[in-house]
Structure formats: C-alpha cells, structure tokens
Chains A and B, each alone.
Chain A
Amino acid sequence: MIKLLTDNWSAFISGFGWTVLSSVLALFFSLIIGSLFAILEVMPSKTARVIGNIYVEIFRNIPLLVITMFFYLVIPLYVVKVNGFTAGTIGLTIYTSAFIAETVRAGINSVDSGQMEAARAQGMSFWQAMKNVVLPQAFKLVIPPLGNQFVNLVKNSSVLAFVAGFDLMYQGNMIASQTFDTVNTYVVVGLFYLVITLPISYYMQHLERKLA
C-alpha cells in the first residue's frame, strides 16, 4: 500500500486538490444561492415563498447524479463547451444549495419573530432587518448543520468521477485500472476522503454538544 501511494503520489494529490477545490467552490456558491432561496421562503410575499419552495423541493428530490449529468451533457450541446470539472461543480452547487436553503430557513425560523418585528418597527426595511438582525443570529445557529452539509458535499463531489472531473475518485479509478490493485487503491482513496471529512464531522459534533 505504501508503494502504491508513493508511486502514484502526484495523481492522488492532484485528485485530492481538485476534490477540495470543487467542494470549496460549490460550498461558496451554494451558500449564497441557498441563503437567497431561504430568504425567499420566509418573505412576506406569497409568490416569493412559492418560488423558493419549488426550487428547494425540486432539487432536493432529484438525484445529484441526474443534475450533474444533465449539465455535463446539455450545456455543451446548446450553450458552451464545459469540462467535467465545471459541469460537476455546477451540479454540486445547485444540489447543495437546496439543502443549504432548508438549513438556513430552519435557522431563520428559529430566530424569535420578535427580532424581525422589532427591527421593522424601528423603520428598517425587510432586507435591512434580514441582513443586519435576523441572518447574523440565524447563521450562528446553523453552523453545525452547515458543517455537516459540507461533509456531505465533499462526499458527493465523488460524482465528478462520472464526468471525468479529475477528482480523487476519478484518479483512484485510473490508478486502480492501471495497477489492478483495486483494494489498496480504494483504501488509499478512502483515507484521503477521511482526512477531510472526519475532522470536520467530529468538530461539528463537538460544536453541537457545546451549543446544546
């Protein structure tokens, strides 16, 4: 196993890098998109709530692979040539944003409604009150669930392997098919994933216990 690791070190590290990059990019964009849809879901306007709900329910109930493959196959056909990494990261972003929207919405709902009312009574607009009063409190509450979403995101980024996204899983498959040493290759790939996911998920458990 050590030999396999040293022989293919650069491939593993590059896969690891692409996995981290894709996860971080997808996290960043899905936080923005997810928060926007979460706010839509709690807005006074009924149309906004319906739009927010439809987005969240559609992308939460369709497999990530379907979304990713769709972008991988359809964008190049009609819009612009994209590589697997871009298509995969777009798919990940859209899928994850629906889950983040749900998480953030739950956070917003658990902030006492008096906070919003008081802020509005002070003359703030809905957006000002949301941005300055409600969201800062909501985000504090949702840090542990968001951390768990990030763990899921890192694990889900393995679908990039379907679209040749250069990620860890993809590199692992290449190495496995070259060396025929499937067992050790997949163990090493697993260890690389655990390096990211285990510390985060333990830290989030610790935070949850502290907040509870």
Chain B
Amino acid sequence: MQNWIDAYSWINIRFLLQGLWITILISVISVILSFIIGSVLGIIRYAKIPYFSRIIGYIIDVIRNLPLLLIIFFTYFGLPAFGFKPDTIPAAILAMTVFESTMIAEIIRSGILAVDIGQMEASRAMGMKMGQAMWHVVLPQAYKKMIPALVSQFISLIKDTSLATIIVVPELMQHGQVVYGQDPNYIIPVFVAMAIMYFVVCYALSLLSKVIDRRMA
C-alpha cells in the first residue's frame, strides 16, 4: 500500500499530467495538420486525375501499410542524412502527420464515395463547377458520414503518440518511464495511472463521437 501512496505523490502525478499535456498537444497539432493534408490527398485520389491521382494513391498505400514506429525512426534518425535535423517534438509531429494524413485520406475518399453520385451530377447539372459542387454539396455530406471514423482515427493517434517515447519525446509514456525508473515498486501504480489517463481521454472521445453520431442521424 505504501508503494502506491509514494508513487502517487503530487510531484509524480503532476509530472505524469505534464506528459499527458504534451501527448494531447502533439495529437491535436498532428490531427489538424493531417486532416487538412488528408482531405487534399483524399480528394486528389477520388478525382482520378490521370497519372497524378494514381501516383498519389500508391504513395498513400505504401505509407499506410508501414508501421508508424518505422516512420518515427526514419524522421528522427534518417532525415538528418538529408541535412534536416528536427527536434524531438517536431519530429514526432512530422511523423504522425505523414502517417495520419494517409489514413485520413482513405477515410475522406471512402466518405466521398459513400455520398450518392446523383448529388454530384445534380450539382453539375445546375451549372456548378466540379470544385464548387465538391465544396458546397458533396463534402458537407461526406464529412457528416465520416465523423465516427475520423474520431476513432484520432483516438488511435492519441494512443500512437506513446510510440514517440522511443525518441525521448517528453509525453505521458516517457514521463511514466521516468517515474517508475526511480523505484521498481512504482511500476504497477504508474502503469495503472498512465492507463487511466489514456483511457479517460480516449473513452471520452469515443463517447463524444457516439453522441454526435446519434444527434446527426
């Protein structure tokens, strides 16, 4: 019992919460960037521009099918060979953004495909340009359908930030390691605390997504 009380001293808990804050910060920045880039990539892939869409499609498929951990390693240890040496947090954000953009691109593309083709045709028949029809008619409907998939992607992004601990990004997992590194008796209490913190954030998001989904339906 004493182990748990010692492990949960305010200094340790505050340190873990600081880690959680970095985790959330990295996740939010990465998700915003990858939402923008992913939308563009998804639309390009959907638009079937000769050659260009196909090449983008192959790049998306390759990156999606690689482990995120490998991309993190490559960003942090590989890019310096090209003369670009990012700091740990920017490297993590860059790696997460590259990976998540491709995941989101696929969600966007299948969301657009799920919108009835008649919507696009009708808008075009009304005299809208392809871009206008996409922006005003198809995308708003597509995004509504994608909310659950996008939120669950965001949840896996939050969980995946823990991988960045390998390049010593000061996020929750890394701070946890620092705390239980002081004393092996802290291992279980610290893991329980970390698990609770991740769980609360991720589960709250999944509940939120269910509420939004029900309200929209």
Contact = CB atoms under 8 A, between A and B. Distances in A.
B120 interface: no
A193 B67 contact: yes
A169 B67 contact: yes
B194 interface: yes
B213 to A, nearest CB: 15
B73 interface: yes
Interface stretch (A7-15, A35-43, A70-78): A70-78
Interface stretch (B1-9, B38-46, B121-129, B156-164): B156-164
Q: Which of A57, A69, A201 has the most CB of B within 10 A?
A: A69
A198 B62 contact: yes
B163 A65 contact: yes
Interface string B128-168: 00000000000000000000000000010001101101100
A155 B78 contact: no
A182 interface: yes
Nearest to B195: A62
B78 A186 contact: yes
Where chain A touches its partner, the secondary structure class is helix
Interface stretch (B12-20, B48-56, B85-93, B197-205): B197-205
Interface of A: 57-58, 60-66, 69-70, 73-74, 77, 151, 155-159, 161-162, 169, 172-173, 176, 182-183, 186, 189-190, 193-194, 197-198, 201-202
Interface of B: 61-62, 64-70, 73-74, 77-78, 80-82, 155, 159-160, 162-163, 165-166, 173, 180, 184, 187-188, 191, 194-195, 198-199, 202-203, 206
